[in-house]
């Protein structure tokens, strides 16, 4: 997950485009602005991207200047409002209108998850008034939080399905803190059941950095070396999940 505190903007001229009724004659080339998060291209034309579609289409086709043509799958993202942040997540195969999502098309989805502070978005919006207000975006879907939780597990712990996680917890988890190991396994099982029930439900909440969170987090430790630690969930009555050992998502 890239935290996009300082987006990089780069102005350029739209690629040449011929007027179809006048071969050899091209349209005047408008100014486009690229948006990068670190070195990842988020949008190639903030001005002409479709920010009001669902999912958003931040990449404009450089051949025909349309974000809805054959390049439609490139860069697709759901933008979701989570407290003071906008979370950008890739669509799932179930989100797109084609019956058969080939690997090629899937590979063209946005590949990175971004976390952008709302004040960064508001600054961009001051310069590009075509961007919708942050509160135009809905809270995150349960399925997006679930995918993110799995994607952000420490590399030595990561699995790609609830079933594999259950097996790993049973056979490779060796300790838990502060909850007892069995209690932690049950807690994770409860979260997995929650994630799989009505996965399109919107879940209002907020993101807090682990070091700023005033509650207690439960860590699970796995066989090693290197005995990886996975901070998985919030302990106590305030419910929440931990992402990448760094961010707490606390449900409202
Ligand atoms: Zn095109």
Q: Is the pLDDT of residue 67 over 70?
A: no
Exposed e or buried b per residue across 209-247, where buried means at least 16 C-beta atoms within 10 angstroms of its C-beta: eeeebeeebbbbbbeeeeebbbbbbbbeeeebbbbbbeb
- pLDDT given at position 157: 94
Task: Assign 127 to helix, strand or coil.
Answer: helix
Residue 236's pLDDT band, with cuts at 50, 70 and 90, is confident
Nearest-angstrom CA–CA distance, 105 and 125: 30
Q: Is the pLDDT of residue 72 over 90?
A: no
Pairing of strands 114-117, 2-3: parallel
Average pLDDT (161-178) is 97
- pLDDT given at position 91: 82
Residue 103's pLDDT band, with cuts at 50, 70 and 90, is low
Q: Is the pLDDT of residue 104 over 60?
A: no
Nearest-angstrom CA–CA distance, 156 and 153: 8
C-alpha 159 to ligand 1 mean position (Å): 37
Task: Assign 186 to helix, strand or coil.
Answer: helix
Residues in CB range of 66: below 8 A, 6 or more apart: 60
Average pLDDT (87-104) is 71
C-alpha 108 to ligand 1 mean position (Å): 14
Average pLDDT (51-62) is 89
- Identify which of 42, 193, 216 has the alpha carbon closest to the alpha carbon of residue 114: 42
C-alpha 24 to ligand 1 mean position (Å): 19
The helix (H) or strand (E) run that includes residue 250 is strand 247-251
- The DSSP secondary-structure symbol of 30 reads -
C-alpha 4 to ligand 1 mean position (Å): 28
**pTM, entire model:** 0.91
C-alpha 45 to ligand 1 mean position (Å): 14
C-alpha 70 to ligand 1 mean position (Å): 6
Q: Read out DSSP for 50-91? A: B-SSSSBB----TTTS-TTSTTTTTT-BEEEEETTEEEEEPP
Task: Extract the tokens encoding 103.
Answer: 């690997």
Q: Is the pLDDT of residue 102 over 80?
A: no
C-alpha 67 to ligand 1 mean position (Å): 7
Nearest-angstrom CA–CA distance, 32 and 123: 18
């Amino acid at each position: 997950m890239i935290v996009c505190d300082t987006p990089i903007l780069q102005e350029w001229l739209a690629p040449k485009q011929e007027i179809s009724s006048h071969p050899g004659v091209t349209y005047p080339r408008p100014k486009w602005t690229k948006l990068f998060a670190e070195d990842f291209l988020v949008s190639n034309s903030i001005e002409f991207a479709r920010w009001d579609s669902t999912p958003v289409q931040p990449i404009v086709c450089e051949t025909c200047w349309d974000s809805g043509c054959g390049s439609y799958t490139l860069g697709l993202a759901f933008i979701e409002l989570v407290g003071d942040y906008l979370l950008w997540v890739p669509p799932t195969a179930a989100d797109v209108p084609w019956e058969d999502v080939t690997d090629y098309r899937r590979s063209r989805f946005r590949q990175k998850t971004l976390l952008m502070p709302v004040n960064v978005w508001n600054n961009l919006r001051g310069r590009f008034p075509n961007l919708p207000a942050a509160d135009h975006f809905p809270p995150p879907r349960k399925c997006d939080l679930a995918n993110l939780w799995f994607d952000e597990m420490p590399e030595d712990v990561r699995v790609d399905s609830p079933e594999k996680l259950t097996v790993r917890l049973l056979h490779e988890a060796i300790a838990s803190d502060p909850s007892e190991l069995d209690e932690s396994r049950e807690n994770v099982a409860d979260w997995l059941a929650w994630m799989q029930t009505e996965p399109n439900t919107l879940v209002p909440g907020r993101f807090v950095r682990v070091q700023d969170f005033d509650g207690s987090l439960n860590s699970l430790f796995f066989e090693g070396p290197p005995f990886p630690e996975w901070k998985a969930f919030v302990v106590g009555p305030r419910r929440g999940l931990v992402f990448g050992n760094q961010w707490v998502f606390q449900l409202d």
